Amino acid sequence: MTHFDDLETRSADAREADQTAALNAQIARVGGMDQVTSLADLAKLPVLRKSDLSARQKEQPPFGGMIATNLSHVFQSPGPIYEPGGSAHDWWRFGRFLAACGIDADDIIQNCFSYHLTPAGTMFENGARAVGAVVLPAGTGQTELQAQAAHDIGCTAYAGTPDYLKIILEKADEMGLPLKITKAAVSGGALFPSLRDFYADRGITCLQCYATADLGHIAYETTVGEGMIVDEGVIVEIVTPGTGDPVAEGEVGEVVVTSLNPDYPLIRFATGDLSAVMAGQSPCGRTNMRIKGWMGRADQTTKIKGMFVRPEQVAALVAKHDGMTRARVIADRAGETDVMSVQCEGDNLDAAAIAASLPAILKLNGDVAVVADNTIPRDGVVIEDRRTYDT
């Protein structure tokens, strides 16, 4: 299998050394943080959350005083949050994903990501340039015109959300237009197995990637069922939601990403998404860490008795009590009333003392149960809402 570059097959030691040097260069650019001696030292640095970024941007528009250089674009995401973009070679790092999809200079990509305000369309176009492919900047909507253009131009590849290609294919069938699309690079939605099978039955190989507007490309599939390989231009950590503390390998937690792009350094940026490290190396020969893909949202903020309870508060509860290693807040109903309980794991814990601390930390009273180790599932959930509203 052809790889995008030699970075994809580096040894673990070489990657560690290269990324530690690149991280220290980012720390020097940003300032205000100590240099690190290894990637393990990342856990000592503060986490930057989207809410923090939004607040900074309101105080100091457009980028909140963050370093943003060599720019060609400014984008707006809901919030609003503004993201910088560049047009340098593979600035967003999507070339690596497109190459894994088999897309190259012989392809014409129908790019059905939006070019309006949000960066997805530009991200994939920049990646297409990196692999030498021609782009039809199709954007979204106008499906009949999309099908006609795909036929007339002879598009061989598709970039867009997982489900929209099916709509184009079915419209082309309805119009009697044969299409030449055999490769699909998708993101921004759920790629259900049945949908992937639909494409496979039509001779289309469909792979997905994980990316955000702030960070660009983060991880990508190369082989179906083998997880997502972390991009070489970022460092990914999986941490307990609401904290910056790494979880054990294989355990579900929040995805925290450090971008090594010198034009827009983001160090320990919390995505709000849940995932887990996948053990072992990909059969494709790429050697970087793998994650299991998107597994839900880490922002589990829940309103109980009219008060918001946030993952950061649960983390503060754990930190408050010596010996406590894990806690889960459970929201439930007793008749028509909200109730809160807290499960806690750890050594020599005093349930009464923990309960007494709840009003100060969680702003609510609740029942506390000290449970045995490994009772609380390692699924990344720190606030569980068991309430139903259909009765």
Q: pTM for the complete prediction?
A: 0.84
Mean of per-residue pLDDT scores for the chain: 93
% the chain with pLDDT above 70: 99
% the chain with pLDDT above 90: 82
Tell me the pLDDT tens digit for each residue of 207-237: 999 999 999 999 999 999 999 999 999 999 9
CA atoms within 13 A on the CB side of 192: 6
Q: What is the DSSP string of 134-197?
A: EEEE--S--HHHHHHHHHHHT--EEEE-TTHHHHHHHHHHHHT------EEEE-SS---HHHHH
Q: Which two tokens stand for residue 297?
A: 């949202």
Which residue is it, tokens 């959930």?
381
Give the whole-angstrom CA distance, residue 36 versus residue 204: 45
pLDDT at 206 over 60: yes
Residue 391 has a pLDDT of: 45
Q: What is the mean pLDDT of residues 255-260?
A: 97
Residue 27 has a pLDDT of: 97
Which of the residue ranges 1-5, 47-51, 79-83, 107-111 has the most confident prediction, judged by mean pLDDT? Answer: 107-111
Q: Is the peptide bond before 262 cis (omega within 30 degrees of 0)?
A: no
Give the whole-angstrom CA distance, residue 318 versus residue 325: 6
Residue 307 has a pLDDT of: 82
Tell me the pLDDT tens digit for each residue of 367-385: 999 999 999 999 889 999 9
Tell me the pLDDT tens digit for each residue of 140-164: 889 999 999 999 999 999 999 999 9
Per the DSSP assignment, residues forming a β-bridge with 234 are 259
Q: What is the mean pLDDT of residues 109-114?
A: 96
Q: What is the DSSP string of 212-266?
A: ETTTEEEEE-SSTTS-EEEPTTEEEEEE-TTS-PBPPTT--EEEEEEE--TTS--
- Phi first, then psi, for residue 216 (nearest 5°) are 80, -145
Q: What is the mean pLDDT of residues 52-69?
A: 94
pLDDT at 299 over 60: yes
Biggest distance spanned by C-alpha atoms of the chain: 73
- 292 three-state secondary structure: coil
Least confidently predicted of 37-46, 105-114, 334-343 = 334-343
- Torsion of Cα atoms, 303 then 47 then 226 then 102, to 10°: 120
Give the whole-angstrom CA distance, residue 391 versus residue 384: 19
Confidence of residue 389 (pLDDT cuts 50, 70, 90): low
pLDDT at 390 over 60: no
62 vs 308, higher pLDDT = 62
